[in-house]
């Protein structure tokens, strides 16, 4: 029987190596978060394998490899120069210690263009909870899946109409019309 856990597209792969200890994971997490909080794309990329696969709700496709992760960090910091990550809870290990569960609080101000899709800066702040699911190889993140509420972030930034607003009702009406017309 395979030791796999599957939820929302997350599977603990057989090739994932056991994580040394919670203490080691805590130290690793501090180094990783320091890279994000200083906007150091190379420091974050140094925490991942060359063949990492990096899933995030804000990405259309996963970021691949160190270069893909570094680009994601650069793009994020350009959009949110003051983005900060703080530990919401201590990191946890899955049974068998082959994956880490790392809860974060992510906050920042939208001061730069979001590409894609090209949203102009709103000057508004966001604050959301993030859960990272990590698998390791050679002491580096090999597989990563971030789980967070992109819709909530877009609402906070004013990039989606407020819940219950006339604009939200208009969007729902447009969607229903599109559905009736078979688009």
Question: What is this structure's pTM?
Answer: 0.88
Q: What is the mean pLDDT of the chain?
A: 93
* Section 84-102 average pLDDT: 95
pLDDT in tens, 8-23: 567 899 999 999 999 9
pLDDT in tens, 73-90: 999 999 999 999 999 899
Cα separation of 127 and 155, whole Å? Answer: 11
What's the confidence (pLDDT) of residue 3? 35
Tokens of 104: 């974060």
Cα separation of 100 and 133, whole Å? Answer: 6
Given a contact cutoff of 8 angstroms between Cβ atoms, the answer to whether 98 and 133 are in contact is no
170 phi, psi to nearest 5 deg: -65, -40
Tokens of 56: 């995030």
pLDDT in tens, 42-68: 999 999 999 999 999 999 899 999 999
Lowest mean pLDDT among 3-7, 32-36, 149-153: 3-7
What's the confidence (pLDDT) of residue 1? 28
What's the confidence (pLDDT) of residue 4? 38
């Amino acid at each position: 029987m395979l030791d796999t856990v599957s939820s929302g597209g997350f599977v603990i792969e057989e090739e994932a190596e056991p994580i040394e200890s919670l203490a080691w994971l805590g130290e690793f997490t501090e180094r990783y978060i320091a890279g994000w909080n200083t906007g150091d794309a190379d420091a974050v990329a140094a925490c991942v394998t060359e063949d990492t696969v990096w899933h995030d709700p804000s990405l259309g496709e996963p970021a691949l490899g160190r270069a893909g992760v570094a680009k994601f960090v650069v793009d994020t910091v350009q959009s949110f120069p003051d983005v900060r990550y703080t530990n919401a809870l201590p990191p946890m290990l899955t049974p068998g210690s082959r994956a880490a569960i790392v809860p974060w609080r992510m906050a920042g101000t939208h001061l730069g263009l979001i590409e894609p899709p090209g949203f102009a800066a709103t000057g508004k702040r966001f604050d959301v909870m993030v859960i990272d699911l990590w698998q390791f190889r050679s002491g580096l993140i090999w597989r990563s899946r971030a789980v967070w509420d992109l819709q909530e972030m877009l609402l906070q930034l004013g990039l989606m109409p407020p819940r219950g607003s006339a604009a939200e009702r208009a969007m729902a009406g447009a969607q229903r019309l599109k559905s009736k017309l078979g688009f």
